[in-house]
């Protein structure tokens, strides 16, 4: 995509949603970190449903360790892979207490050393909790980047590096939210809704999806 088109692409997404936010609910960086770890291969809505009661009771790593593995599993048992995720959440809480003064580190290396925390999780936490200009490439961003031509790549890391290179200011801080939301609600996996897409003329995807046929009106 040409530089001017990239700018216009983001300008329109920004105009349509000036203050995009993560849909994961959390009250502090620690809860955000836990929510992102729980969200792997799960929907934000599903995670929120499980974490509302958990986060009402647990706001710190110490409280999570005190809660214990079995009680945590009960809270999150509706989320996929909950056994492994519960173990990781307890282990990362212990690591935060032991190595980081119970604070969430604000650097990639520190985050990625925590159990259950990979590059994508670190990118979300760095962006949402600390305002870093990171691009957390999930399934939605991967798809939007490749379809549109904004950032093509065979792996999430390749797409992330291209987005980092291509995304101009003033859009960098919120770019990943705009792309996720665009992928989740418009540029959907099975059937992108090109007919109502505000960046359709800038997007390389072909052929564009036509609007669904209107239901016949009853006689």
What is the set of active-site residues? Answer: 120, 138
Task: For the CB of residue 212, give the shortest distance to ligand SF4 in the complex, in Å.
Answer: 14
At residue 70, the 3 state secondary structure works out as helix
Span from 42-50, 92-100, 155-163, 203-211 in contact with ligand SF4 (CB under 6 A): 203-211
Q: What's the CA gap between 56 and 58, in Å, rounded?
A: 6
| Contacting residues for 184 by C-beta, under 8 A, at least 6 apart | 140
Distances (CA, A) of 188 to 24, 160, 218: 19, 19, 31
Task: For the CB of residue 62, give the shortest distance to ligand SF4 in the complex, in Å.
Answer: 45
Task: For the CB of residue 209, give the shortest distance to ligand SF4 in the complex, in Å.
Answer: 6
Site for ligand SF4 in 109-148 (CB under 6 A): 147-148
Q: Choose among 6, 2, 46, 16: nearest CA to 181.
A: 16
Q: Is 192 in the site for ligand SF4 (CB under 6 A)?
A: yes
| Contacting residues for 211 by C-beta, under 8 A, at least 6 apart | 195, 196
User: Using CB under 6 A as the criterion, which residues of the chain lie in contact with ligand SF4 when the complex forms?
Assistant: 147-148, 186-187, 192-194, 197, 199-200, 203, 205, 208
Annotated binding-site positions for [4Fe-4S] cluster: 187, 194, 197, 203
Annotated binding-site positions: 187, 194, 197, 203
């Amino acid at each position: 995509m040409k530089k001017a088109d990239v700018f216009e692409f983001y300008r329109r997404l920004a105009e349509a949603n000036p203050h995009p936010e993560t849909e994961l609910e959390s009250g502090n960086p620690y809860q955000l970190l836990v929510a992102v770890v729980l969200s792997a291969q799960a929907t934000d809505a599903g995670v929120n449903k499980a974490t509302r009661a958990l986060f009402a009771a647990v706001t710190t790593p110490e409280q999570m360790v005190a809660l214990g593995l079995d009680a945590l599993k009960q809270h999150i048992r509706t989320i996929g892979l909950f056994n492994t995720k519960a173990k990781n959440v307890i282990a990362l809480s212990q690591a935060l207490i032991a190595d980081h003064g119970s604070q969430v580190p604000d650097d990639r290396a520190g985050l990625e050393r925590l159990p259950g925390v990979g590059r994508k999780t670190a990118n979300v936490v760095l962006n949402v909790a600390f305002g870093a200009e990171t691009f957390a490439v999930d399934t939605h961003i991967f798809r939007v980047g490749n379809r549109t031509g904004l950032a093509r790549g065979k792996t999430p890391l390749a797409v992330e590096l291209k987005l980092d290179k291509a995304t101009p200011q003033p859009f960098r801080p919120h770019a990943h939210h705009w792309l996720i939301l665009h992928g989740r609600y418009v540029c959907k996996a099975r059937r992108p809704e090109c007919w109502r897409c505000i960046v359709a003329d800038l997007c390389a995807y072909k052929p564009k999806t036509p609007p669904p046929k209107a239901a016949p009106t009853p006689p």
